[in-house]
A and B are shown apart, each in its own frame.
Chain A
Amino acid sequence: MSPDVGEAVAEAFRQEWGRVVAALIGMTGDWDLAEECAQDAFAQAMKTWPRDGVPRRPGAWLTTVARNRALDRLRRGATETARLREAATLSVPGDPYADGDDSGITDDRLRLIFTCCHPALSLEARVALTLRTLAGLTTAEIARAFMVGEETMAKRLVRAKHKIRDAKIPYRVPPAHLLPDRTAGVLGVLYLLFNEGYSASAGADLVRQGLCAEAIRLARALSQLMPDEPEVLGLLALMFFHDARRAMRVDGAGDLVRLEDQDRSRWDRAEIEEGTRVLDAALRRGRPGAYQVQAAIAACHATAAEAADTDWAEIAALYGELARLVPSPVVQLNRAVAVAMADGPAAGLALVSELGESGALSGYHLLPATRADLLLRLGRRAEAAASFAEALELAATDAERRFLTRRLAEATAPK
């Protein structure tokens, strides 16, 4: 096979797998059959595309092959006559892409996303099912990405598919009164996927690191399927901004590198530009939401040429907006940091003290770590050292402990 055709099949797999599976589930109602027939169609492509060339519309070709395969299999298992009848009536002759209208197929993919992310499934199952049926990762790959045994992951997927069938979780885009909640649920799954990849260390399994790319691909597809949902665009933009500096957030030793210390020339410019475009498109809708605000904050960081150029007043205002949308003490803490940068450490410290007195963040190491940082900047070194020591007690990871140990040394070093 020429490398071009091999790449065409790989690209078709990335772009079309979810579409083919979704169409087949829509047609047969059988998730396992849909996956198997989609696999068969890609295997067929590997065989015939090198000989006959890559079809003009690979997705249509693959869907047709998979659909014919499903019909064959259903005919052979003729005991299920009712299902066969149903499938036969649905398999209208002709190419669904023929007149250039692929809306029926597109709707199936959207149905699939909402079904995979249904709140009656466990969060773990939602994530696994999304990666399997929409992104086309193998069970082994998903197991590696989440560091569980392949058998455990296989069971999780089987159980989820059984529940969809047996409890009759609908295969549809939710009606208007459920749509906002369910859309938020889908975005939550995609963001979790992204964060799993984002938190993977540089030495981690490549599949795990690849979760960021999968999450971006899925969010992009969702933004095309739901063009009127600014929060989908907001999440996509947020992912671009984070992904742009992903490689720079840890150093060679696996230690966290603070934003202000990162080499900005090595951030991914193309991703930052794309994030900016997507965020602008979201904000033009005039319906702000938590993901859009977070993306706007990330944009402030990503578009500052130097750390010193960061528009902290804008970031502080955006955190205020975010706190209004999502009341959370962690958001308040981030706002305090931004206020400290914009208006000086004393202003930030006042907010941190308020938060500390509320008790909402007791046990969270970033509260004393933030207080310590502000105290140090005010020259109150003894208090700073005590707070760094408190944070060190609470930190959960080695990387965090190493970082805090360095900061503690700064506070106690002779001037």
Chain B
Amino acid sequence: MKYMMLVCADESVELSPEDSAQMGPLTGAWVEEMDRRGIRLDGNELRPVSDATTVAVRDGEVLIADGPFAETKEQIAGYDIIDCADLDEAIEVAAKHPVARFGKIEVRPFWVE
């Protein structure tokens, strides 16, 4: 079963220098483990919402806006597509992600017909 992991964090919260320095290696270790286990199919970090552009089409007109479509405290900072046996495995994988310790991870199953 494929799941999308939306890695969410509050962009305005600054990590301590030590925590910040650890994020790279910790995330690298997580990616390495999940790749080795054949779980992680794809994933990436995203630029902050200040670089986001929202696009909609209404009455044939393309509407473009600067920023995210929803103002929320926590923003999507990255994503991973994972292939797991079931939700329990997906929860285990998400709980191991370093951002889970201060942000939140939304786990959504792929739509399967």
Contact = CB atoms under 8 A, between A and B. Distances in A.
Contacts of A168: 1, 86-87, 109
Contacts of B91: 120
Contacts of A174: 88
A168 B110 CA distance: 11
Interface residues of A, number: 9
Contacts of B1: 168
B73 to A, nearest CB: 22
A268 B101 CA distance: 49
B86 A166 contact: no
A166 B88 contact: no
A167 B88 contact: no
A167 B110 CA distance: 8
Interface in A121-171: 166-170
Contacts of A166: 109, 112
A183 to B, nearest CB: 15
Nearest to B109: A167
Contacts of B107: 167
Contacts of B3: 167
Contacts, number: 22
A166 B113 CA distance: 10
A166 B86 CA distance: 10
Nearest to B89: A170
A92 interface: no
Interface string B65-99: 00000000000000000000111100100000000
Interface string A391-412: 0000000000000000000000
A308 interface: no
Q: Which of A120, A167, A170, A178 has the most CB of B within 10 A?
A: A167
A169 B112 CA distance: 15
Interface in B17-75: none
Contacts of B85: 170
Looking at B1, B3, B85, B86, the one whose CB has the most chain A CB atoms below 10 A away is: B86
Nearest to A177: B92
A174 B86 CA distance: 12
A120 B86 CA distance: 12
A244 B103 CA distance: 47
A169 B88 CA distance: 7
A166 B85 CA distance: 13
A168 B85 CA distance: 8
B109 A169 contact: no
Interface in A158-208: 166-170, 174, 178
Most chain B CB atoms below 10 A, which of A118, A168, A169: A168
Nearest to B84: A168
A170 B92 CA distance: 13
B108 to A, nearest CB: 8
B104 to A, nearest CB: 14
A167 B88 CA distance: 10
Contacts of B112: 166
Contacts of B86: 168-170
A59 B91 CA distance: 36
A65 B85 CA distance: 32
Q: Which of B1, B85, B87, B107 has the most CB of A within 10 A?
A: B87
B84 to A, nearest CB: 8
Most buried by A among B3, B91, B107: B91
Nearest to A182: B88
A169 B87 CA distance: 5
Contacts of A178: 88
B101 to A, nearest CB: 18
A192 B62 CA distance: 52
B91 to A, nearest CB: 7
B87 to A, nearest CB: 5
Contacts of B87: 118, 120, 167-170
Nearest to A178: B88
Contacts of A118: 87
Interface string A63-75: 0000000000000
A170 B87 CA distance: 7
A196 B90 CA distance: 33
Nearest to B91: A120
A174 B87 CA distance: 12
Contacts of A167: 3, 87, 107, 109
A126 B95 CA distance: 22
Interface string A289-309: 000000000000000000000
22 contacts: A118-B87, A120-B87, A120-B91, A166-B109, A166-B112, A167-B3, A167-B87, A167-B107, A167-B109, A168-B1, A168-B86, A168-B87, A168-B109, A169-B86, A169-B87, A169-B88, A170-B85, A170-B86, A170-B87, A170-B88, A174-B88, A178-B88
